[in-house]
Chain A
Amino acid sequence: MSDFNYLDLCADCVRKAVGLGAEWCDVSAGTGRDISVSVEKSGIKTADAGQGDDVAIRVFVKGGMGYASVSGRDPGDIDEAVRRAVALANEASADPDFKSLPPPQPAPEVDGLFDDRIAGMGVEDVVRITVANLEAGKALEPEANLSGHVGLSVGRGALASSAGVALESRGTDIAADIEALVKRGGDTGYFYEFDFGRQLADCRLDDVAAGAVLGARRFLGARRIKSGRMALVLGPLASYGFLGGVVAAANAESIQRGRSYLCGKVDEIIASPVLTVIDNGLVPRGVRSGAHDGEGTRRRPLTVIDRGRLVSLLHNSYTAGKACTESTGHGTHSGGISPTNLRPALGARTASEILREVTEGIYLESGELRADPASGDISASIDFGFLIRNGELVHPVESAMIGGNIFDLLERLDAVSSDAREEPGVLMPTLRIQDVQIAGAE
C-alpha cells in the first residue's frame, strides 16, 4: 500500500471547501485493497482482487447538508467533488437544528485493529485457507455441496474537519463464510457458518466449512408443525439479530423524527429486567471497534437497555446538537447513525439449562426476527429453527412463522444465558421468550 498522505488530502479539501463558502466541512479519504476467493460446487470458482481510493466531502451551509463522493485520487475529480458538495449545501434548506461538527477529542487507542500478518497475506494464503476448509468439509461429508467465500481487506484512511479534527486510522479484516448443502434422498439440509476478525489469531478460519456441514446435517428432516403459542428460544445468531434490531431502533434521529416504535420510551421499561444491552465500540480487536466514529467523536461504551429500561439513544453530532446533549459516538460520515459491538449482560444459567426447561417451543438457530421500525410488529419466517419438546430439539421445522409485537416479546423475555458465542467485540447469548404465537403449516 502506498505511503500517500490522506490526512493532507482531507485537510486540503476542507480548506478549499471553506474557501468556497462552506460554514462547516469534514472530509474522509482512504484506500483499501481486498482479495476474495469464491467457492462453488466444493471447489474454487474464482479469485478476485480490487484496490481503490475514496474521497467523501460533507459541507454544511446554514445547517443544510451537501455531500459528494468520488472514487480514485484524480485531483480534478476531487476538486469537482468539493465544488459540488458546497453547491449542494447552498441548495439545501437551512436547518436550525444543526449546531456544529464535533471538535477534536482525545480518545483512547483501541488495540488490535490492524494485523501485519493479514496485511502481508496474498492470494496464495487465501487459497490455502479455502482449500483447508474444502478438505475439512468434504472429509466430514464427501457429497456435501460447499459454496461461499474467503477474503481479506486492508485499508487506511483519514478524517479532517473545519472544527479541527485530524485523525488517521488503519484496519484489517479477514473472514470466511461457507454454506453447506447436504442431501439424503429427497431430503435437503442446508446451513452456513462463518468466522471473521481483525486479527488472524482471533479466527479459526479453517474450521468454517466443517461447521457448516455439521449444521446442514442437523437441518435434514424438516417437518411442518401445528400453530400455537409456545416458548421461543433464540440461539446466539438469532439473538444477535433480534437485539441488533432493537438497538438500531434506538437511533436518535428516528426518534426525534417520530418514526420509531421507541418514540416516547426513553427512561421507560421496554423489556423484562433480565435484559441489559451495552454497545461498546472500544472493545480491543472488535470487528466494529474504533477510537472515533465517522465524524471524529470519540467512542465510549453505552448502556442502551439497563435491566429492561431504555436508558440511552444512539446519537451522532446532529441529533446530539438538536437534543442539547453529547454525541455518543455512533455517527457515520454520511450523516447516519450506526450501532457498534453489542454486548448483552449475561444471565445466571447456561443455554442448555434454559433449553431444558422448555416443555414445548421453537429453537431459532438463525434468522431474521426484526420488527417493523414504526409499528414494532413482527411477522417473521422461521428460516432455521427446531421444534423443542421436553427440553430437547426434536426436528427442524419448515413453513412456520413467528407473529407478535416487539414489546410483547421483550416483556416475555425471561432468560439470558450465562454462556455466549463470542466473536471479536461481540457477545451472543441465548435468549428465551415465553408464550409466542407460532403459525405452522400442519
Chain B
Amino acid sequence: MEDLARYLCELAKRRGASFADTRVLHRRSESVLVQDGRADKLAAYTDRGVGIRVLVGRCWGFASADSLERSRGEKCVDDAISLARASQDFVSDPAMIAEVAPTVAEDLRSPEVAAGEMPVKEKISRLLEYERLGRALGGDAVVNSIVSYSEGTREEVLANTAGTLVRTAGARAVVTCLFVASDGKILQRGTEHRGILGGPELLRQVNPEAFSVVAARKALALLKARPAPAGRFTVIFHPSITGLLVHEALGHNAEADAVWAGQSILEGRLGDSLAPETVSIYDDSTVPGAFGSYAYDSEGTPGRRRPIIEKGRLVGFLHSLETAAKFKAQPTGSGRAESYDCRPIVRMSNTFMERGTVPLEEMLRGVERGIYLLDGHWGYVFVQKGQFICHAGQARMIERGQLGDALRDVSISSMTLDTLKNIDAVGSDFEMKMPGMCGKEGQSAPTDCGGPHVRVGDVVVGGHAEE
C-alpha cells in the first residue's frame, strides 16, 4: 500500500500537480441485528480502493477507484489532473495548501479483542441477553425491541508530495438498542447507544443494567409523560443536550472551511466574547478511547486539543491543511475523509464544554418555571443563519425549582449566538457519551460530544400546548 501511495504522488507531481496526496484504504465491517428474540440480520462489508487529490494551478481535482491495481491508480492521477485543469479557469478562490513539515509515522492499533476472536455466536448471545433483560423490565408492554452491533476495522496509508507518509490502523465498535412500549393507546421509544475505539470487547464492557434496561425504562416512562408545552422557557440541558449544542450550534460554525467560505456566523468574530466567562469549549481528538479520537487526520496532521471558546471568547477554528494556509494558521488535524472515495474536509472529533462550578440542584433552584431537557437524540444546524435544532428524547417540567411532570418528544430551536449569550450557569459535572456519525457534504465521521449540565434562558420549545 505504501509503495502504491508514494508512486502515485510522484506520478501526479511529474504530470503537473503542485501538490498531491494519495490515500489507500481497506475497510472491513460486520454487523449483527437482534430483533424480537431472534438474530435477524447478519452482514459483512468490505471495501478497498485509492483516492488521489491533486492541486493543479488554482484548482483541486480528485479521483478514486475501487482497486489497488497500479493501472487504475495511474488512471486516477490522469483523471484528477484533467478534472482540475478543466475547472481552474472558473475558480474564484484559488486553492492552496499549508507548507508544513512532513509527517512520517504510523499508528497501528488493535482492539483488545480482534474481530475474529469473538465468534458470531457469542456476539448474538450477548445481544440477545441485552434484549432479554430490557424486555423483562417491560413485560408485555414492550412490543418491539432491536439490539444491533457493528464493528469495523480500517487500514489506511496516506502519502503526499511533501514527503508525508502515515500508516494507520484502527477499529471502532458500536452497540445500540431500541425498545418500543405500548399502553394500548400510544407507542413510545427508548434508545441507548455505546461506542468505543476498539472491537468486540465493547460487548464485554457494556452492562445491560446501564444499557438495555435503561432504554426499556425510558420507553415505559414516556408512556406516562405528557406532551410538552410550547413557547419560550428557561431550560436546563443534560450533558447529552449540551453535547448537541456544542457540536451542532457551535462546532459546525467553527469548521474553518465554512468560515472561509463565508457560510459561518463566526466569520470575522475571532477574539470576540460570545459567551459568559464560565464557558469554554474544545474539540479534542486525543481523548483516550473516545469514539471521535484519532492519532492522525486524513491529511497526516497529528490530532490535538483545539480550543474554540475559552472563558467566553472565540479563540480558534478547526483547520485542514487548506484552511490553515488560507487563514495563515496552524493545521489542527481536522481534515478527515470518510473513505478512499472522499476528499478530506474539515470535521470535528470529540467536542465538549468544560465543566463549571454549579451543581444541578442549585441550577434547578433558580428556575421558577422551565424545562429540563435530557436524552439528547439528534440535532442539525444552518450555519449560514446560525440557527440550530436539538431533539430531546425526554424532558421534565421545572416548577419553582423542583422537577415536575415528565414530558415527551421535545425539540428546541434557537440562534447559536443568542443561546451562548444566554447561558447563565455551567454545571460542575461532566459526561461525554454521545458516540455517533456526523454528516457533512455526504460524508460521515465518527464523533462524540458532551459537557456538563448548563442552564440557558429564553429558548423556544416546540410542544403541543400554548404557554
Number of A-B contacts (CB under 8 A): 268
Q: Which residues of A contact B384 (CB under 8 A)?
A: 179, 181, 188, 190
Bound: A398/B387 CA distance, A = 8
Which of B42-50, B107-115, B203-211, B235-243 interfaces with chain A? B42-50
Residue from B83, B95, B186 within 8 A of A48 (CB atoms):
B83
Are B45 and A258 interface neighbours, CB within 8 A?
Answer: no
Are B87 and A123 interface neighbours, CB within 8 A?
Answer: yes
Q: Which residues of A contact B227 (CB under 8 A)?
A: 377, 403, 405
Residue from A43, A71, A88, A373 within 8 A of B49 (CB atoms):
A71
Q: Which residues of A contact B455 (CB under 8 A)?
A: none
Given contacts A42-B92, A46-B60, A398-B415, contact A92 B42 (CB under 8 A): yes
Is the CB of B465 closer than 8 A to any CB of chain A?
yes
Given contacts A49-B79, A92-B40, A381-B462, contact A258 B180 (CB under 8 A): yes
Nearest neighbor of B189 in chain A, beta-carbon distance = A374
Are A50 and B415 interface neighbours, CB within 8 A?
Answer: no
Bound: A91/B40 CA distance, A = 10
Bound: A147/B64 CA distance, A = 23
Are A190 and B43 interface neighbours, CB within 8 A?
Answer: no
The interface bits of chain A over 86-100 (1 if a CB of B lies within 8 angstroms of the residue's CB, else 0) are 001101111100000
Interface size, chain B (Cβ < 8 Å) = 84
Tell me which residues from 441 to 462 in chain B have a Cβ below 8 Å from any Cβ of chain A: 458, 460-462
Is the CB of B38 closer than 8 A to any CB of chain A?
yes
The interface bits of chain B over 375-410 (1 if a CB of A lies within 8 angstroms of the residue's CB, else 0) are 000000010110101010000000000000000111
Bound: A402/B466 CA distance, A = 11
Are A40 and B66 interface neighbours, CB within 8 A?
Answer: no
Given contacts A71-B66, A190-B385, A257-B144, contact A91 B39 (CB under 8 A): yes
Given contacts A71-B49, A92-B40, A398-B415, contact A404 B464 (CB under 8 A): yes
Are B182 and A72 interface neighbours, CB within 8 A?
Answer: no
Q: Which residues of B contact A181 (CB under 8 A)?
A: 262-263, 384
Is the CB of A401 closer than 8 A to any CB of chain B?
yes
How near does chain A come to B27, taking the closest CB pair, in angstroms? 9
Nearest neighbor of B38 in chain A, beta-carbon distance = A93
Nearest neighbor of A84 in chain B, beta-carbon distance = B44
Residue from B59, B121, B263 within 8 A of A44 (CB atoms):
B59
Tell me which residues from 353 to 378 in chain A have a Cβ below 8 Å from any Cβ of chain B: 372-375, 377-378
Bound: A84/B461 CA distance, A = 48
Given contacts A49-B83, A375-B188, contact A92 B41 (CB under 8 A): yes
Is the CB of A394 closer than 8 A to any CB of chain B?
no
Is the CB of A47 closer than 8 A to any CB of chain B?
yes
Bound: A95/B80 CA distance, A = 48
Residue from A48, A88, A399 within 8 A of B43 (CB atoms):
A88
Is the CB of B101 closer than 8 A to any CB of chain A?
no
Helix, strand, loop or mixed for chain B's interface?
A: strand
Q: Which residues of A contact B44 (CB under 8 A)?
A: 67-69, 81, 84-85, 88
Is the CB of A400 closer than 8 A to any CB of chain B?
yes
Are A147 and B261 interface neighbours, CB within 8 A?
Answer: yes
Q: What bracket does the count of chain A residues touching chain B fall in? A: 35 or more
Are B385 and A399 interface neighbours, CB within 8 A?
Answer: no
Nearest neighbor of B67 in chain A, beta-carbon distance = A72
Are B261 and A91 interface neighbours, CB within 8 A?
Answer: no
Are A263 and B39 interface neighbours, CB within 8 A?
Answer: no
Is the CB of B463 closer than 8 A to any CB of chain A?
yes
Are B232 and A403 interface neighbours, CB within 8 A?
Answer: no
Nearest neighbor of A35 in chain B, beta-carbon distance = B83
| Residue with the highest number of chain A CB atoms closer than 10 Å, among B59, B124, B144, B391 | B144
Bound: A220/B307 CA distance, A = 33
Are A46 and B411 interface neighbours, CB within 8 A?
Answer: no
How near does chain B come to A144, taking the closest CB pair, in angstroms? 10
Q: Which residues of A contact B409 (CB under 8 A)?
A: 372, 375, 377-379
How near does chain A come to B118, taking the closest CB pair, in angstroms? 13
Residue from B143, B391, B410, B415 within 8 A of A258 (CB atoms):
B143
Residue from A134, A145, A374 within 8 A of B180 (CB atoms):
A374
Are B463 and A190 interface neighbours, CB within 8 A?
Answer: no
Bound: A81/B29 CA distance, A = 12
Given contacts A47-B83, A85-B44, A257-B36, contact A403 B462 (CB under 8 A): yes
Are A41 and B92 interface neighbours, CB within 8 A?
Answer: yes
Q: Which residues of B contact A71 (CB under 8 A)?
A: 46-49, 66
How near does chain B come to A114, taking the closest CB pair, in angstroms? 22
| Residue with the highest number of chain A CB atoms closer than 10 Å, among B87, B88, B409 | B87
The interface bits of chain A over 399-426 (1 if a CB of B lies within 8 angstroms of the residue's CB, else 0) are 1111111000000000000000000000
Are B143 and A259 interface neighbours, CB within 8 A?
Answer: yes
Q: Which residues of A contact B61 (CB under 8 A)?
A: 46-48
Bound: A94/B42 CA distance, A = 12
Are A145 and B261 interface neighbours, CB within 8 A?
Answer: yes
Is the CB of A389 closer than 8 A to any CB of chain B?
no
How near does chain B come to A25, taking the closest CB pair, in angstroms? 15
Is the CB of A240 closer than 8 A to any CB of chain B?
no
Are B187 and A47 interface neighbours, CB within 8 A?
Answer: no
Q: Which residues of A contact B408 (CB under 8 A)?
A: 375, 377
Is the CB of B360 closer than 8 A to any CB of chain A?
no
Which of A3-11, A160-168, A272-280, A432-440 interfaces with chain B? A432-440
10 further A-B pairs in the complex, CB-CB below 8 A; given A43-B91, A257-B35: A47-B61, A48-B63, A64-B40, A77-B46, A190-B385, A258-B143, A374-B189, A375-B186, A381-B462, A401-B461
10 of the cross-chain contacts (CB-CB < 8 Å) are A45-B59, A52-B49, A89-B42, A131-B90, A258-B182, A259-B180, A381-B413, A383-B382, A400-B413, A403-B462
In order of increasing CB-CB distance, the 7 nearest A-B pairs are A43-B92, A401-B462, A439-B230, A258-B143, A71-B47, A47-B83, A377-B409
Q: Which residues of A contact B (CB under 8 A)?
A: 35, 37, 40-53, 64-72, 74, 77, 80-81, 84-85, 88-89, 91-95, 123-124, 127, 130-131, 134, 145, 147, 179, 181, 188, 190, 222, 227-229, 257-261, 263, 334-335, 372-375, 377-383, 398-405, 437-441
Q: Which residues of B contact A (CB under 8 A)?
A: 35-49, 59-67, 79-80, 82-84, 86-88, 90-93, 95, 120-121, 124, 143-144, 180, 182, 186-189, 222, 227-228, 230-232, 260-263, 341, 343, 382, 384-385, 387, 389, 391, 408-415, 418, 458, 460-467
